[in-house]
Structure 1
C-alpha cells in the first residue's frame, strides 16, 4: 500500500512514517518544514518520497495526493501559547489546510486518518472524558482542531472516509523542545542542571501517551473496518504534574529543587481519556506505560543520569 503522511518530518508524523516502513508500505512525506525538520528523515531518505509542500496550497497538494491508498494528516501548528498570538495563522493552517486535504481525499475516494486533540474538550470538570462530552476549547489551537472535526463531519455526509484521533498528552524521543509538552521541558531542566519549573500549583493532571502508541493507533485506525468517527487516544490514566516531576527526579537522580511559576494561558486543570470506545470499536489500547516511557527518554537524553 502507498500512504501519504502530511507533517511527516515532525514528531508524530515521523514516527508514523517509520512504522509504515517497518510494515513494508510505500510512503510519501509532505511537509513544508515550518516546524518539522528534514534531519528527522535523513536516515530514511532513500526509502521515502519527500515533497516540500504547504497544505494551504490546494493545487500542489492535489498533485501529490494522486494514486495513494490513504492519508495520515499530521501537518499542523500545535503550540497552545503561540496560538493566542497567531490565531489567524493557526486557523489558516489547521482548518483551511485540513479542508484542502479533506476536499481532495473526497474527490479521489481516499481514506483519511487525521490528528485531532483532547484540546477540543476544553476545561472539563468530570473525568474520564468520553468522546460525546461537550466541546468547549479554551484556546485557539483547540478551536482549530474542533473546527477541523466539524469540517470532517460535513465531508462524511458526502461519503468521505475520515477518522479523527483525539491525542492526549503525547511524549517521546524526538519531540521539538520549542513545541514540547511538559515532559520534554522537564528533561531540558534536568539536562541543564536547573530547577524543574512547574506552571501553576502542579495539581493539574494529564494523560500521557507515548508517541509510538500514537503511531500504532494511526495504523490500526487506517486498517479498521470503521469508516468514520472520532476517538480518544490516550491511556486512561491521569498523572498530576507534581507526581510527574517527582518521578522524573527519582529516575534521573536530579538534585535541584522544584519551583512553581504562573499558570499558562489556556491550560486545562484535568485531562484523562475514557478509552472504552477506542478499545471496543478500534480494538486498540496503549502498550507503553509512563514509567517505561520515561526511562527510555532519560536514557536517550541523559545517559549519564542512569
Structure 2
C-alpha cells in the first residue's frame, strides 16, 4: 500500500516509516526538519520518497498526498513549556496544519491516523483515564491537541475516516526532548555521574509507552475497519518520577540522590491510561515495560547512545 507520514524524520515518525518499509509498503515522508533529523531515517532514506516541506503548505500537501491509501499524521510542535511563549505558532502548526491534512483527506478520500495526546485530559478526574472522561487541557500545547480532536470530529461527519491516538508518555530509541524527555535527561546525567534534576517533588506519575508499541497502534488503527474514534495509547501502568530517577541511578551503580527544583507550569501530575477500547477495537496492547527496557538499554552501551545522543 501507499502511505505518507508527516513528521517522518521525527522520533515516532521515523520508527513508523521503518516499520512500514519493512512490511513492503511505499512510503512518502514529509518533514520540515524543524525538530526532525534526517539521520533518523538513515537506514531507509534510499527506499522512501522524502519531501522537505511544511504541513502549513496546502499546495505541497495536495501535490504529494494524491493517490495515497492513508496518512499517518505525526507532525507537530510538542513542547509544553515552549507552547506558552509561542501560542500562535503552535496553533498554526498543530491546528491549522492538521486541518490542512483533513481537508486534503476529504478531497482525495484517504484515511488519517494522527497523533493526539493524553494531555487533552489535563489533571484527570479519575484514574485510569477513559476516552470519554472530561477534557481539561492546562497548557497551550494540550489545547491545540483538543482543538485537533474537534476538527477530526467535524471532518468525520463530512465523511473523512480519521482516528486520533492519544499518546501517553512515549519513550524509546531516538527520543526527543519533547517526548518523555525526562528519561533522556536522567540518562544523560547518570551517564556523566551527575544527579538527575527533578522538577517538583517527584511524586508525579507517568504512563510510559514504548515507541514500537505506539507504531503498532498506528498501523492497527490504519488497517482497522474503524472509521472514526479516539483511543488511549498507554500501558495502564505507572511509575513516579522519583522511582524513575532511582531506577536509572541504581542501574548505573551510582550512590547519589536526585536534586529537586521547582515544578513546571502546565505539568500534569497524574496519568494512567485505560486501554480497554484499543484492546477491543484494534486488538492492540503494549508489549514493552519501561523498567525492563531501561535496564536492558543501560546495560547495552550502543543502545544507550541511540537514546541519549
* TM-score of the pair, normalised by structure 1: 0.96
CA contact (8 A) 1:4 1:29 kept: yes
Deviation, structure 1 residue 302: 6.0
Residue 262 (structure 2) pairs with residue 262 (structure 1): yes
Q: How does 1:35-46 map to 2 (within 5 A)?
A: 35-46=35-46
CA contact (8 A) 1:164 1:231 kept: yes
CA contact (8 A) 1:125 1:270 kept: no
Cα distance change of structure 1 residues 59 and 120 upon mapping to structure 2, 3 Å threshold:
same
Q: Report the 3-state secondary structure (helix = DSSP H, G, I; strand = E; otherwise coil) of the residue aligned with 1:249.
A: helix
Distance across 2 between alignment mates of 1:205 and 1:73: 28
Q: Report the 3-state secondary structure (helix = DSSP H, G, I; strand = E; otherwise coil) of the residue aligned with 2:260.
A: strand
Cα distance change of structure 1 residues 191 and 302 upon mapping to structure 2, 3 Å threshold:
farther
| Unpaired segments ≥5 residues, structure 1 | none
Cα deviation 1:7-65 (Å, max 9, x = unaligned): 01000000100110111111110000000011111221111000001000111111010
Distance across 2 between alignment mates of 1:242 and 1:201: 8
Residue 300 (structure 2) pairs with residue 301 (structure 1): no
Q: How does 1:99-118 map to 2 (within 5 A)?
A: 99-118=99-118
Distance across 2 between alignment mates of 1:217 and 1:148: 19
| Unpaired segments ≥5 residues, structure 2 | none
Q: How does 1:115-126 map to 2 (within 5 A)?
A: 115-126=115-126
Distance across 2 between alignment mates of 1:110 and 1:254: 52
Q: Number of residue pairs matched? A: 303
Q: How does 1:75-94 map to 2 (within 5 A)?
A: 75-94=75-94
Distance across 2 between alignment mates of 1:178 and 1:187: 15
Tell me what 1:206 maps to: 206
Tell me what 1:283 maps to: 283
Distance across 2 between alignment mates of 1:129 and 1:175: 25
Tell me what 1:274 maps to: 274
CA contact (8 A) 2:78 2:178 kept: no
Cα deviation 1:219-245 (Å, max 9, x = unaligned): 110111111100000000011111111
Deviation, structure 1 residue 301: 2.0
Tell me what 1:62 maps to: 62
Distance across 1 between alignment mates of 2:143 and 2:125: 18
Tell me what 1:133 maps to: 133
* TM-score of the pair, normalised by structure 2: 0.95
Residue 98 (structure 2) pairs with residue 98 (structure 1): yes
Cα distance change of structure 1 residues 235 and 179 upon mapping to structure 2, 3 Å threshold:
closer
Cα deviation 1:63-110 (Å, max 9, x = unaligned): 010111110000000000110111110010000000000000111110
Give me the CA root mean square deviation.
1.3
CA contact (8 A) 1:191 1:302 kept: no
Cα deviation 1:133-161 (Å, max 9, x = unaligned): 11010000000000000000000000100
CA contact (8 A) 2:117 2:167 kept: yes
210-219 or 286-295, which moves further after superposition?
286-295
